[in-house]
Amino acid sequence: MIGNDIVDLEVARCQSNWQRKGFLDKIFTINEQRLILDAENPELLVWNLWTRKEAAYKIFNRSTQIRAFIPLLLECNVINEFEGTISINHQTYFSQTEITESSVYTVAVSERLFFLKIQVLSSEQPIFKEDGIPFLMDSISNKKNPVSITHHGRFWNGITLAV
């Protein structure tokens, strides 16, 4: 399974005051808050961890059908600013993050080898949804291939796993 998330840093700076009272407490565990407050660039780490949690949540949601606001149940273990794991309910997901001047983008997978099978989608590809969960329809096998879509501000990314 796969998940992805992107934050447009320009939009985030205008619309989300991560320094406001209670924001970190509502989204990040105590360990994650320590990492943020000790970071050289706390703002960038906020959005890095946020995208990791959101990408992992998409996998969790797809596998459990649980839809809820549960960021504190998702615990990020940062290997470095580009890699890490996210744990929830004894499940561990793996993440890879790309950071540019304008965005933070994370892909999460349920198995490491899935990183090698990721296919980037075009926004023109016909993507269907069932119960809010996106998929591609394989016209040959008639199977539903899981898709993860993310968009924020100026950015849109869609991914699937190669069959």
Q: Which among 60, 42, 50 is positioned nearest to 109, based on CA atoms? A: 60
Half-sphere exposure in the Cβ direction for 68 (13 Å, CA): 9
How much is the CA Rg of the chain, to the nearest whole Å?
Answer: 16
- 69 burial level (CB within 10 Å; 0-12, 13-18, 19+): exposed
Where are the chain's structural domains?
2-161
The CATH number of domain 2-161, selected from 3.90.470.20, 2.30.30.60, 3.40.605.10, 3.40.800.20: 3.90.470.20
Cα angle vertex 47, ends 125, 114, to 5°?
50
Cα 90 to its chain centre, rounded Å, is 18
CA gap 77, 32 in Å, rounded: 8
Sheet with 2-8, side-by-side order of all strands: 2-8, 103-109, 91-99, 83-88, 75-80
Per-residue pLDDT of the chain (163 residues; tens, 9 = 90+): 999 999 999 999 999 889 899 999 999 999 999 999 999 999 999 999 999 999 999 999 999 888 888 999 999 999 998 999 999 999 999 999 999 999 999 999 999 999 999 999 998 888 998 888 889 988 788 888 999 999 999 999 999 998 7
For residue 65, the model assigns a pLDDT of 84
Which DSSP letter does residue 115 get? G
For residue 32, the model assigns a pLDDT of 97
CA gap 60, 71 in Å, rounded: 12
With residues binned 3-state (H G I as helix, E B as strand, rest as coil), the percentages for the chain, rounded to 5, are: 35, 40, 30
